[in-house]
Amino acid sequence: MKKQLLALVATLAVGASALAADPKLVINPDQPGPVIHRNIYGQFAEHLGTGIYEGMWVGPESKIPNVRGWRKDVVSALKDLKVPLVRWPGGCFADEYHWRDGIGPRNKRPIKINTNWGGVPETNAVGTHEFFDLVEQLGAEAYVNGNLGTGSAQEMSEWLEYMTGEGKSTLTDLRRKNGRDKPFRVHYFAVGNESWGCGGNMRPEYYVDLYRQAATFLKTPENNRPLFIASGGHDARTDWTEVLAKGLKGVPFDAISHHGYTLPTGKWEKKGSAVGFPEAEWISTLAHTQRVDEWVRKNTALLDQHDPARKVGFYFDEWGSWYDPEPGSNPGFLVQRNTLRDALLAALHFHVFHAHAERVKMSNVAQMVNVLQAMILTSKDQLVLTPTYHAFKLYTPFQDATSLPATLENNPVYKVGATEMPGLSATAARGKDGKLYVGLVNANANQPAELTVQVGSTSPKAARGQLLTAAAMDAQNELGKAPQVLPQAYEAQAAGGRLTLKLPAKSVLVVAIEG
């Protein structure tokens, strides 16, 4: 009898183990949620290191193939990524940038020192006209960050008139003299950046007063009115959101920006290495996205109290990994390698922003080229696409897609030391093409996973898409070497009335569900 009981207990344990190891993704196609705005996949280009100069801008006289100074290969790669929006000129640089320095003949523009990033000369070769040429080549929207820190309401209002003015005035004539007859299309305009820190070390109450003053004078033609963005808080802070939501009623105010970076160690003085890291820093990096979700939830809940109509957006316009700088590089250039870990980190951020798509209608990864969690790395005439680039490419079907409820049942727990997180993450949406798309991440660095997919009350017939994974946690694509992280075709067919998706350890998968 005792043996029988032991056998029964063992059988039940095996059954429970099998159940726990068999997650299910349940999608409800009959309850569509908010649209996932394409600008959730926005980009950020700051005057920082070789992020613009050398990385993207080489000048019209360069032997590197270019269109009016912008590298053809970089622009082509970014167009393939369907970059929807570019934020410029900063970042911290924005609050020391004076737009008049960046217009007129390039050989006559003043040379300044970039005091924020490396103490190197800023030639102002890339200014207003060059920036708009870039976004127009990309077919992207323009997000211009105004200078509140060392600038003024007058300077910002005059810049807007220069960019958007239609009639005859000294400023519009100056724009025409500099080669642009019709106005530039400004989609977004921010009043300052990180005003709690590098943008002026302000209190939110003081910033509100400055914003209200500036917004009074930020005027454009009605058909070219940008959405106005207020500089908000960062990380877990909610005080900026509350003060801004209360204090900016009655003035042009469309969104609050919020920033949050991922540091493996959580310590700015020693952030952690971009390569050669232990599994403890793999999971601490990926698990950080749970905190990002919490930050968004708490801030948007505050906005709901003060803006129940949900007219004000919550834009996470700086995010990404931030590691110790590449040895031998200028620490102020924020050079770091990009690995498979960054691809998973990007996908997990996408899932968070999709879940909050009603408020989060923009986010901007930091940054496009050669800086922090970059899409592209360049050196002279060479170029390589990073794992993060490929993650963005996989998720392009989610741009302007309609979100759908997606629940993971029996989701395994991934744990390393004291840090734990859900092993799987999922998002689902109906694309503009009518297809049902699913994005999945297996965060576990060692264990593959399988899950069945249920759509409504039915089991779909097949799934087709692309998988991103590699053998090593720090697999990377290096200049001049064969890439280690590339998307590969993926297909799964239903069997026995069930569609099962198999995910390797440390992988990202995006598929269209059929039938």
Q: What are the residue numbers of the active site?
A: 194, 318
Closest CA to 131 of 86, 173, 194, 161: 86
Q: Distance between CA atoms of 467 and 486, rounded to whole angstroms?
A: 9
3-class DSSP state of 383: strand
Q: From residue 130, give the alpha-carbon distance in Å to each of 182, 368, 425.
A: 15, 16, 40
Helical ranges in 329-395 per DSSP H: 340-355, 387-394
Strand 255-262 versus strand 227-230 pairing type: parallel
Residue with tokens 């690995």: 339
Closest CA to 323 of 271, 378, 259, 252: 271
Judge residue 481's burial from the number of C-beta atoms within 10 Å of its C-beta, 0-12 exposed, 13-18 middle, 19 or more buried. Answer: exposed
> What Rg do the C-alpha atoms of the chain give, in angstroms?
24
Judge residue 13's burial from the number of C-beta atoms within 10 Å of its C-beta, 0-12 exposed, 13-18 middle, 19 or more buried. Answer: exposed
Q: Distance between CA atoms of 362 and 43, rounded to whole angstroms?
A: 10
Q: Distance between CA atoms of 104 and 175, rounded to whole angstroms?
A: 9
Give the distance between the most distant pair of CA atoms in the chain.
98
* Cis amide leading into 89 (omega within 30): yes
Q: Distance between CA atoms of 160 and 18, rounded to whole angstroms?
A: 62
- Reading the block at residue 512, the tokens are 């269209």
Closest CA to 53 of 114, 129, 126: 126
Closest CA to 348 of 400, 417, 421: 421
**226-250 core/surface letters (b: 16 or more CB in 10 A; e: else):** bbbbbbbbbeebbebbbbbbebbee
Backbone angles phi, psi at 172, to 5 degrees: -70, -35
Judge residue 359's burial from the number of C-beta atoms within 10 Å of its C-beta, 0-12 exposed, 13-18 middle, 19 or more buried. Answer: buried
